[in-house]
Chains A and B, each alone.
Chain A
Amino acid sequence: DGGITQSPKYLFRKEGQNVTLSCEQNLNHDAMYWYRQDPGQGLRLIYYSQIVNDFQKGDIAEGYSVSREKKESFPLTVTSAQKNPTAFYLCASSRRDGSPLHFGNGTRLTVT
């Protein structure tokens, strides 16, 4: 079955360490997205990519970095510069024609 796989489901890190969240899709979608979700809040866009080797900052890109070397993969690195990294991170993908987003099951990152 086609879908989006995020791993790991739970991730724990010490403050000051960089950490990379994995996102893989086998839907053959061109566009991929990273969102952050905090308790009781909506989704905030971190980065998005509409094509391989290209990506754009979203609303809250500071302290994050991404790469898009392959169509299927869009890893997110949470750097030590991100002041409040503890959150639920959601990866999504879609075709580029405005069709609905498909979401992974998320990674819950806890930084202490």
Chain B
Amino acid sequence: GDSVTQMEGPVTLSEEAFLTINCTYTATGYPSLFWYVQYPGEGLQLLLKATKADDKGSNKGFEATYRKETTSFHLEKGSVQVSDSAVYFCALSASNTGNQFYFGTGTSLTVIP
């Protein structure tokens, strides 16, 4: 079945460091891919999305490119800030599974000043 595997955490970075959180997926159809962010005690917020191969989603300095050949959707940011400290979830949704969402287990990021 469809699934998402993402990098284990926690990840700790210094402010202004480069961030990569790896995400790979398994899907029988042509999924849409998403990154969500969760701040402590809150629900998930959509960070960015990509709906087809080679699309790049971007928001707030974060980017991820839909790579069909490697079935990946890695999240990157060139210079993290303390305010980026949160848990990041990779997810997919595919029409051939009734648009059900499948989430990775989340990666906790802490950015230290």
Contacts and interface: CB of A to CB of B under 8 A. Distances in A.
Interface of A: 4, 6, 31, 33, 40-43, 45, 48, 50, 90, 92, 94, 96-98, 100-106, 108
A106 B43 contact: yes
Interface of B: 32, 34, 36, 41-46, 49, 89, 91, 93-95, 98-101, 103-106
B105 A101 contact: no
A30 to B, nearest CB: 11
A105 B89 contact: no
Given A101-B46, A101-B91, 20 more contacts: A6-B43, A33-B101, A42-B106, A43-B44, A45-B100, A45-B101, A50-B98, A90-B44, A96-B99, A97-B99, A98-B94, A98-B95, A100-B34, A102-B46, A103-B44, A103-B45, A105-B41, A105-B43, A106-B42, A108-B41
Given A42-B89, A42-B106, A43-B89, A101 B101 contact: yes
Contacts of B49: 100
B42 A105 contact: yes
B105 A42 contact: yes
Contacts of B101: 33, 45, 101
Given A42-B89, A98-B32, A90 B99 contact: no
Contacts of A106: 41-43
A101 B44 CA distance: 9
A39 B94 CA distance: 27
Contacts of A101: 36, 44, 46, 91, 101
Contact of A42 (B32, B98, B103): B103
Given A42-B89, A90-B43, A98 B99 contact: yes
A43 B103 contact: yes
A56 to B, nearest CB: 9
